[in-house]
Amino acid sequence: MATKTFGERLHHAVAERGPLCVGIDPHASLLSDWGLPDTVAGLESFAFTVVEALADRVAVLKPQSAFFERFGSRGIHVLESTIRQSREAGALILLDVKRGDIGSTMAAYASAYLDPSSPMSVDAITVSPYLGVGSLRPAFDLAAANGAGVFVLALTSNPEGPAVQHAVTADGRTVAQTVIDEISQVNAGADPLGSLGLVVGATIGDSGHDLSKVNGPLLAPGLGAQGGTPEQLRTIFGESLQNVLPSYSREVLGAGPDVTALRSATQRAAHACRAALG
């Protein structure tokens, strides 16, 4: 069992490197913008350049698994190398996989990403709760056993999200609030931070949901090119602002492939987030 929980390790990383997560999203248009072919070689060059530029200076790197998976086994090999190199440089790795299933299948997903013996073992993953938060228990349990983390989708920025997330349940709470409350219960009493987090989009505005008792990290994707601004975080998160992990992707990645330019874009984003989060 890990000597420190993910919540402890994330708290330390943010204190040391600042509150910032940067995505590694090698989709075809970004490869093209970088002058790279839409091939495994282009994927590898993109991912390894981001690691070289940022893995020794940001708290969290967030590879989007789908953009590696689309190249099959060779893409997965690049993902494994990206994870390994990022970890060696000191960044925490949040793998954006958004898995969600039941029983033995969920347990297998958990083992793939949260078991230290797996070649794709990471510090944390994203998951979907829409088969019920209880269906995610295998991931929660394995994460706890290995000092890893899990980020559960709660309030997303896509226009289709509110139809499900804002639907009202029999007890009067929204579906999203029931997810928030269940994660809050698991994190209760954790110090300095729980290891179960929530994903809350940076463009949702004041949704009327109560995040004050989560006591875990609040990943806020959608900053920069997707329209979110650091200043909007105050409206969304209120008194939970200290637990927010702002996440940038295209706004930073668009500065590549020059390593210095990537670092400068990251520094600007980090400065803006520090100012907004206080």
Domains and CATH numbers, the chain: 6-277 (3.20.20.70)
pLDDT tens digits, 163-216? 999 999 999 999 999 999 999 999 999 999 999 999 999 999 999 999 999 999
User: Measured in whole angstroms, how far is the alpha carbon of residue 179 from the centre of its chain?
Assistant: 17
Calculate the dihedral angle through the C-alpha atoms of 195, 215, 201, 120, rounding to the nearest 10 degrees. Answer: 0
State mean pLDDT over 250-254: 96
State mean pLDDT over 16-44: 97
For the chain, report the end-to-end CA distance as a whole number of angstroms.
34
Per-residue model confidence (pLDDT) at position 216: 98
Strand duo 21-24 + 60-63: pairing:
parallel
Euclidean distance between CA atoms 268 and 19, whole angstroms: 12
- The 10 Å Cβ neighbour count of residue 8 is 18
H/E stretch holding 200: strand 196-200
Q: Which residue, chain included where needed, has tokens 């997810």?
A: 179
pLDDT tens digits, 52-102? 999 999 999 999 999 999 999 999 999 999 999 999 999 999 999 999 999
pLDDT tens digits, 111-158? 999 999 999 999 999 999 999 999 999 999 999 999 999 999 999 999
Structure tokens at 37: 């072919």
| 98 catalytic residue (yes or no) | yes
Per-residue model confidence (pLDDT) at position 3: 77
- The 10 Å Cβ neighbour count of residue 158 is 10
State mean pLDDT over 254-267: 98
The answer on pLDDT for 1 being more than 50 is: no
The answer on pLDDT for 274 being more than 60 is: yes
The answer on pLDDT for 15 being more than 50 is: yes
